[in-house]
Amino acid sequence: MLRGRDVRSLEAMSTIDAQADTLPLGGPSLPQERRLVTELPGPRSAEILARKAAAVPAGVGHTVPVAAVAAGGGVVVDADGNSLIDLGSGIAVTTVGSAHPKVAAAIAAQAAQFTHTCFMISPYESYVEVAEALNRLTPGDFAKKSALFNSGAEAVENAIKIARKYTGRQAVVAFDHGYHGRTNLTMALTAKAMPYKSGFGPFAPEVYRAQASYPFRDGLSGAEAAARTILQLEKQIGADNLAAVIIEPIQGEGGFIVPADGYLPAIVDWCRANGVVFIADEVQTGFGRTGAMFASEIFGIVPDLITTAKGIAGGMPLAAVTGRAEIMDASHSGGLGGTYGGNPVACAAALAAIDAYETEGLLERAAEIGALLKDRLSAIQAGDPRLGDIRGHGAMIAAEFVDPATGAPDAALTGAVAKAAIAQGVIVLTCGTFGNVIRFLPPLTIGDDLLNEGLDVIAAALAAHPSSAGA
């Protein structure tokens, strides 16, 4: 129940002008426009970024040189009053928008009641409700349970813990181009040295790497790629030693790689036949991002365990492992948890965000955004063969840039286009093992006009950059 003061703060939130002489409030009523009033960074952002350089270690980098003060709909506003088009959602987190009114209200109401008890000391209903929602929404028509954590990496760590305890086996397989986080075990699972692993070893043992499916680069059918993977699992590790296989249904940091048809079902079937726990890491693909609630649905697979985070709670830090009840129940009491896991403010935000996913047509909107992005990018590709591949589902679309003569990855062009777009007030992110992919992850609350304007800026940046082939 909302209290009087919460209702007042809600009214204030919907009235930007109420605080016009201070900082703007975020949310959907923020003017939806690209507006540059200074070069980036402007003076106020530059001052904050200079303090960042002095106070925060260099290892914590940033790609967009502005200090944010508000965000909502499809824009991020900086400390100098610049308004940037947001095609990144803070890495697929603010899928329901930044400061979604229901999420903001739920956070305010819960913070006024209590911020923490520790679920392992005195449990509360909202954690249970989030678990029930995850058990209901994830694929699989069987009894499920969920445990909550704080970050994607922590969810992945716990999924591996649970799979090892359940199977009594130790080995874990992750894949080329995989990304699972920055903690020690998840660094071991991650496939990319720079920037994620270099100098940070030694890494956790009993982690093995196999090749997955990357149709644009390996040219294999799903069945061929699966046969290659399975040979590696059987010969290098041995099924009897293998606790779990962990894979992103669409590999995120690795380049938004969509596996060939039939690849994932074949791997799931092999795991099931060999008593291996199949873990889908849906930290980036989950919660409507791909136009389905979970990307596993697109490929017709039912994972044993699913890890989620990013889009789960409208920007609040929350993560989960959801899966078959008998696997989830393998751990002794006290074996799973953490001081903050399933924080009540984050749970309140998650329940509001899940309500938005289910009732506001956001999955349909993700599909529309995907169609618009693919149409526009295909039109650009028709006149520019450096755009080698366009792929993805829903609001998770990638453009892979290559040297048209050789197909070699063109990271220099990719970086230059992204940098130019950012300087023009369009937040775009790059990814890919070879650094040659621009990824589109807009909030589902962005309008078509902003999407089109963002693509106009990217197309102009591309046209302004001569081919770097042979340079």
Query: Does 341 contact ligand PLP by CB under 6 A?
Result: no
Answer for which of 72, 73, 181, 341 binds ligand PLP (CB under 6 A) is 181
CB of 321 to ligand PLP, least distance (A): 12
163/420 with CB nearer ligand PLP: 163
> Which residues are within 8 A (CB) of 373 and not within 5 positions of it... i.e. 6 or more apart?
392, 395, 397, 440, 451, 455
Q: Which of residues 283-302 bind ligand PLP (CB under 6 A)?
A: 283-284
Query: Does 82 contact ligand PLP by CB under 6 A?
Result: no
Q: With CB under 6 A as the contact rule, which of the stretches 152-160, 224-232, 292-300, 398-406 interacts with ligand PLP? A: 152-160
CB of 340 to ligand PLP, least distance (A): 13
Task: Give φ, ψ of 135 to 5 degrees.
Answer: -65, -35
267/413 with CB nearer ligand PLP: 267
Query: Does 309 contact ligand PLP by CB under 6 A?
Result: yes
Q: Which of residues 244-263 bind ligand PLP (CB under 6 A)?
A: 248, 252
Residues that bind ligand PLP (rule: CB under 6 A) add up to a total of 13
CB of 346 to ligand PLP, least distance (A): 12
Give me the count of residues in the chain: 471
Query: Does 212 contact ligand PLP by CB under 6 A?
Result: no
Cα–Cα–Cα angle for 305, 306, 312, nearest 5°?
150
Q: With CB under 6 A as the contact rule, which of the stretches 34-42, 115-123, 173-181, 357-365 interacts with ligand PLP? A: 173-181
Tokens 């029930």 found at: 132
Of 278, 258, 296, which Cα lies nearest the Cα of 398? 258
Query: Does 153 contact ligand PLP by CB under 6 A?
Result: yes
Q: With CB under 6 A as the contact rule, which of the stretches 176-184, 221-229, 325-333, 351-359 interacts with ligand PLP? A: 176-184
Query: Does 152 contact ligand PLP by CB under 6 A?
Result: yes
Q: With CB under 6 A as the contact rule, which of the stretches 70-78, 280-288, 343-351, 356-364 interacts with ligand PLP? A: 280-288
CB of 282 to ligand PLP, least distance (A): 7
Spatial separation of the C-alpha atoms in residues 469 and 471, rounded to whole Å? 5
Q: With CB under 6 A as the contact rule, which of the stretches 7-15, 66-74, 276-284, 353-361 interacts with ligand PLP? A: 276-284
- Shortest-Cβ-distance residue relative to ligand PLP: 152
Cα–Cα distances (Å) from 366 to 52, 299, 310, 348, in that order, read 35, 17, 16, 24
CB 232 within 8 A of CB 175: no
Query: Does 162 contact ligand PLP by CB under 6 A?
Result: no
Q: With CB under 6 A as the contact rule, which of the stretches 80-88, 146-154, 219-227, 259-267 interacts with ligand PLP? A: 146-154
Binding-site ranges for ligand PLP (CB under 6 A): 151-153, 156, 179-181, 248, 252, 281, 283-284, 309
